[in-house]
Chains A and B, each alone.
Chain A
Amino acid sequence: MRVVVDFDRCQSNAVCMDVAPEIFEVRDDNFLYILDEKPSEALRPKLEEAVRRCPTQAISIAED
């Protein structure tokens, strides 16, 4: 699975970072960085929660 972020939607709320800090980080420049673009299956529940809770619905999961 691959993490996809629509940066046209992302407004750096940092909710994803709170849910899955292994994958997402908002830095002091207020931009979101994807730390792990292809996380392990073990992180799927956290990633799915980040997808659901992202206030701008900017995150999706690609299965490739």
Chain B
Amino acid sequence: MASARPGRIVVVGASLAGLSAVETLRQDGFDGELVAVGAEPVLPYDRPPLSKQVLQGHWEPEKTELRDQAQYDALGVTWHLGRRATAVDPAARTVTLDDGEPLAYDGLVIATGATPRWLPGSEGLEGVYVLRTLAECLALRAEFETASRVCVVGAGFIGAEVAASARQRGLDVTVLEALPAPLARAFPAEMGAACAALHLDHGVDLRCGVTVAGFEAVGGRVAGVRLVDPGGSGASPGKAEVVEADVVVVGVGVVPETGWLESSGLALDNGVVCDSTCAAGAPGVVAAGDIARWPNNLFGETMRVEHWSNAVEQGAAAATRLLAGPGEAVDFSPVPYFWSDQYDAKIQFLGRCCPTDDVRIVNGSVDERRFVALFGRDGRLVGALAFSRPRLLMAYRKLLAAKTSFEDALAHAAQAG
């Protein structure tokens, strides 16, 4: 190994992006010391099943483990689990852990992810949950054993998957969404309508355009969610409506876990600000996963992506960046991908999207709950969404990576069916 390569690399954040980074470092030939710090007391596990198979009761937690002992032994990482980093000093090249211990680094991977937003008045109230960690999942699953009415606040992907899992367990489910349709901030209206239709098909009481005012509690335990009275819209003013519930799940988004970096001098702006190669602006520092905000030159857009595939890909890219010599750094410019499994539907999305994009359904129909939709912007294909059409959808990844025109993409669709 070249002498310029770092001797000790510290990875802060022991989830998917951090794991991908340490594996890539070893794969790329880094044989120095690897230290990983994780806030949760367990080795990396897979989060997507938490809102699905584990919550439904089909999988036990062990099945979410991402690697086995032999694989960890081969990696040779010193894990500090159940520990948080509280500060980083880029000039001294040290990370401080929550017991005050400074940890010197030659290279640092920031991968602390994001943490769920809470709603005011819900913190500390028994029976109100967010879903991010395995511990939260198991606590919620235990509640589902005895609950009969679940209220989900937020019809984004986590909320939608929790609602689907609760319905599959036979619970009554109400979903409250502030926007006029699910995902209305990200997708054109017809796509939100398709997501809404899925819930209605399965007996969810989906209420859009409502605002949560607060929580009703009995003896410190949640009993319902109070809505803002829409008075002034002509409705007769009355008592604010309460959606009664035994359990409430809050799925109103996440915030990047940057608190520990505030004194670092690193640029923070809704995440850690990186360049197009995942470098975070100080020597030997890179960032990856939910916390990283970087210019993706394929789309000419600065983005922060909170999805599984990005954690894997960016973790790897950041690791490679850390080992790159002068002039060797390459842009990280992927086609973002995410999926969501709800009821019997598989929702998949590639690329980017905004509510004003030109949208064309090129296969199937919303009514069938099976379709492929393409999104165009300024004459270029920017995104593709599918409901239960995985084979057709995935063909668009290469077209997106090649900056295909919208016209050519539609021609491809006409041919592919």
Please list the residues of chain A having a beta carbon within 8 angstroms of any beta carbon in chain B: 11-15, 17-18, 25-28, 30, 52-53, 55-57
Contact A13–B390 (Cβ < 8 Å): yes
Contact A30–B390 (Cβ < 8 Å): yes
B residues in contact with A11, CB < 8 Å: 339, 341, 346
Q: Is B388 an interface residue when CB atoms closer than 8 A count as contact?
A: yes
Shortest distance from the beta carbon of B252 to any chain A beta carbon, whole Å: 24
Q: From B64, which residue of chain A is reached at the shortest CB distance? A: A57
B interface size (C-beta, 8 A): 23
24 contacts between A and B (CB under 8 A): A11-B341, A11-B346, A12-B346, A13-B339, A13-B348, A13-B390, A13-B394, A14-B390, A14-B391, A15-B309, A15-B337, A15-B394, A26-B390, A26-B394, A28-B391, A30-B346, A30-B388, A30-B391, A52-B20, A53-B312, A55-B337, A56-B48, A57-B46, A57-B66
Given contacts A52-B312, A53-B312, contact A14 B394 (CB under 8 A): yes
A residues in contact with B398, CB < 8 Å: 18
A residues in contact with B316, CB < 8 Å: 52
Q: Is B393 an interface residue when CB atoms closer than 8 A count as contact?
A: yes
Q: Is B83 an interface residue when CB atoms closer than 8 A count as contact?
A: no
Contact B393–A14 (Cβ < 8 Å): yes
Q: Which residue of B20, B48, B66, B397 contacts A55 across the interface (Cβ within 8 Å)?
A: B48
CA distance A57 to B16 in the complex (A): 12
CB-contacts of B302-340 with A (<8 A): 308-309, 312-313, 316, 337, 339
CA distance A26 to B313 in the complex (A): 22
Tell me the total A-B contact number using a CB cutoff of 8 A: 48
Q: Which secondary structure dominates chain A's binding surface?
A: loop
CA distance A14 to B339 in the complex (A): 11
Given contacts A12-B390, A30-B388, A52-B312, contact A18 B346 (CB under 8 A): no
Shortest distance from the beta carbon of A63 to any chain B beta carbon, whole Å: 13
Known: A13-B390, A13-B394, A18-B397. 4 other contacts (CB 8 A): A12-B346, A13-B346, A14-B390, A14-B394
CA distance A28 to B397 in the complex (A): 18
Which of A12, A18, A25, A30 has the most C-beta atoms of chain B within 10 angstroms of its own C-beta? A18
Shortest distance from the beta carbon of B370 to any chain A beta carbon, whole Å: 9
CA distance A53 to B348 in the complex (A): 15
Query: What are the 5 closest A-B residue pairs judged by CB atoms, nearest first?
Result: A14-B390, A14-B394, A26-B391, A18-B394, A12-B390
Shortest distance from the beta carbon of B345 to any chain A beta carbon, whole Å: 11
B residues in contact with A57, CB < 8 Å: 46, 66
B residues in contact with A17, CB < 8 Å: 391, 394
Q: From B398, which residue of chain A is reached at the shortest CB distance? A: A18
B residues in contact with A53, CB < 8 Å: 309, 312-313
